[in-house]
């Protein structure tokens, strides 16, 4: 099961990196900040997954080699593991917050500052409670889905529908972890669901890239 977990995370890192690249490419092509935020959101997801895998390896390696008596030197790694996991939480919540900024089109600096402080305030309880972290993630994704469903009702497009499905899958993955806890099986299931979401986003950015390329060829 651990091998499945590592495989899912590795594929997610690759797919998210591709999406981040195309987000940056779209920003350079259009000079619109929303694409820069989009690419940055997935870049944070990439870094978050790398950090998560690192923390998991450190934790499991420590348990494997020192199942009973942990030397003082290895004890120092445990706080490091928790610190690394805290950074993962920060990056994940920041990524979801950036999605809210993209789809809500909030531009006023005071509102942006307030949102930033709220995320930082939620970091401490999210760091100490796995369930609370997933609850916060669910709340942020619900905001994203609200804006996306509203936009889809105004103008029905396939890409918008795919985005809604992708974020619903993100929501489902966090709901699984919130309800059933961080067992190896549930974590593998949750990250498998998130991988499908990443693949949907990859399909979306490739569709957009193809359309832009066709426009460029017609000029």
Query: For 58-73, how does the pLDDT look when each residue is reduced to its tens digit (9 = 90+)?
Result: 666 766 666 665 555 5
Using alpha carbons, select from 194, 176, 196, 195 the residue that is nearest to residue 186: 176
**Calpha distance 56→84 (Å, rounded):** 10
Higher pLDDT, 213 or 157: 157
Domains by residue range for the chain, with CATH: 2-218 (1.20.1070)
| C-beta separation of 115 from 106 below 8 A | yes
Q: Specify the pLDDT at position 158.
A: 87
Tell me: pLDDT of 33 over 80: no
Decide if pLDDT at 82 tops 70: no
CB atoms within 10 A of CB 181: 12
**What's the CA gap between 116 and 111, in Å, rounded?**
9
Q: Measure Cα distances from 175 to 52, 110, 178, 192, 213 in Å.
A: 19, 31, 5, 13, 38
Give the rounded percent of residues in the chain with a pLDDT score beyond 70: 76
């Amino acid at each position: 099961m651990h091998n499945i977990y590592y495989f899912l995370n590795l594929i997610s890192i690759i797919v998210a990196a591709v999406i981040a690249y195309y987000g940056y490419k779209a920003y350079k092509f259009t000079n619109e900040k929303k694409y820069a935020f989009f690419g940055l959101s997935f870049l944070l997801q990439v870094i978050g997954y790398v950090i998560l895998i690192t923390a998991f390896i450190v934790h499991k390696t420590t348990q494997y080699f020192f199942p009973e008596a942990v030397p003082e030197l290895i004890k120092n790694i445990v706080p490091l593991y928790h610190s690394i996991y805290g950074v993962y939480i920060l990056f994940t919540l920041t990524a979801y917050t950036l999605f809210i900024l993209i789809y809500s089109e909030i531009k006023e600096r005071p509102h942006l500052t307030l949102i930033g402080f709220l995320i930082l305030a939620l970091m401490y309880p999210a760091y100490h409670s796995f369930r609370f972290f997933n609850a916060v993630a669910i709340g942020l994704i619900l905001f994203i889905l609200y804006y996306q469903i509203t936009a889809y009702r105004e103008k029905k497009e396939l890409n918008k529908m795919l985005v809604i499905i992708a974020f619903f899958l993100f929501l489902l993955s966090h709901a699984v972890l919130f309800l059933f806890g961080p067992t190896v099986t549930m974590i593998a299931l949750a990250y498998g669901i998130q991988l499908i979401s990443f693949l949907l986003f990859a399909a979306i950015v490739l569709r957009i890239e193809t359309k832009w390329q066709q426009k460029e060829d017609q000029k």
